[in-house]
Amino acid sequence: MSVFVVADMSANHLQDFNRAKEIIDSAKLAGVDAIKTQTGSFDCLRLGKRKAFFEDEDCVWFGKDLKKFFGELFMPHSWNLPLKKYANSLGLLYFSTPFDVGSVKCLEKIDVPFYKISSFEIDNFELLKAVGRTKKPVLLSTGLATFEDIEKAVGVLKSFGCWNLTLLHCVSEYPARFDLIDLENKINKLKSFGLPVGFSDHSLGFKAAVVAVRCGVCVVEKHLTLKRSDGGSDSVFSSEPEEFTELVKRIRMEEKQMMARWKE
C-alpha cells in the first residue's frame, strides 16, 4: 500500500481564499493524496504549553504576539466547505486539525473523512472525546508527548469509539534539524503501541521524509506554501510547489526500491 502523502496548508493561506485554492492546486500537481487545514480560533486555545513554547529564544516564533499569530493561522470556518468541495473535485481528500469541541462540530457538518490531533492537544481530553465520538480515523501527532501522554490519548480516543488510529512522529522544532529527528529510534518506539506510524515532517528538503518511508511509515505530512518569500508564520519550514513535487517523487521512488528489495 502506498504511503499516504498530506500537504498541510496551515497558515500559508495568508487569509486569502483564492491563495488557499492555489495551494490546493499546487498540492494536486505535486501528487499528494490529501490537503489539511487548521480549524479553531484564538479564544478557544489552551495557551499554557504555547506560552512556554513561544518564550523559548530558540523558537522561530519567539517574541510574536500570540493573538496575532493564531489569528493568521486559523482561516474562517466558512472556508472549509467550499475548499473541501474544491479539493474533492480535484480528487484530493480534505481534512483538518480542530483545536476545540466547537471546531469538531463545524467539521462534522461538512463531513470531513478523518481528523488530525496536534501534539499540543494530546492531553486535551475534551477534544479527544469529541473526536473519538465521530468514530472517524485519526492522525495523532506526538511531537511534545511523553510515552504516558500517548498511552492516555490513545486510551481516550478508543474508549469513545475511535479505533482507526495512526501515530505521527514529529519534532516540534521549526524547522527541525535532521540530526534531532532520530527517525529509526522514534518510529520503532511508536510502533510498540501496535498502531500504524506516520511522520509529520518539519525539516527542510525531502531527506527526512524518504528516510521515514524507509523506516516503514504509512503517512507523510509536510507544509506547503506557494513561495516562502511571501511570508507567513509557517513559511520558513514549508516546501514550495516544485520542492513538494520532488518530495512526492522521491517517496514513490523509495517505495518502488523497497518493493524490489522485498521481491529479491
Give me the mean pLDDT over the 202-210 stretch: 91
Residue 51: per-residue pLDDT: 54
Give Cα 33 to chain centroid, integer Å.
Answer: 13
Give me the mean pLDDT over the 134-159 stretch: 95
Which range marks the domain in which residue 187 is found?
4-263
Residue 171: per-residue pLDDT: 82
Residue 244: per-residue pLDDT: 97
What integer best gives the mean pLDDT of the chain? 89
Residue 91: per-residue pLDDT: 98
pTM above 0.85, yes or no: yes
Tell which wins on pLDDT, 46 or 250: 250
The residue ranges of DSSP E strands in 125-226, in sequence order, are 138-141, 165-169, 197-201, 219-223
Percent of the chain with pLDDT over 70: 87
Residue 234: per-residue pLDDT: 81
Taken in order 181, 250, 12, 232, the sign of the CA dihedral is positive
Residue 46: per-residue pLDDT: 63
3-state secondary structure of 67: helix
- pLDDT tens digits for 207-258? 999 999 999 999 999 999 999 999 877 888 899 999 999 999 999 999 998 8
Distance CA(169)–CA(141), nearest Å, equals: 6
Residue 62: per-residue pLDDT: 55
- pLDDT tens digits for 48-97? 565 555 555 565 655 666 666 666 778 899 999 999 999 999 999 999 99
Does residue 47 surpass a pLDDT of 60?
A: no
Residues 6+ apart with CB under 8 A from 56: 62
**Where residue 203 sits, what CATH number does that domain have?**
3.20.20.70
Distance CA(218)–CA(187), nearest Å, equals: 11
Number of domains in the chain: 1
Residue 202: per-residue pLDDT: 87
Give me the mean pLDDT over the 28-35 stretch: 98
Residue 260: per-residue pLDDT: 77
Single out the residue of 69, 38, 76, 37 nearest to residue 53, CA to CA: 69
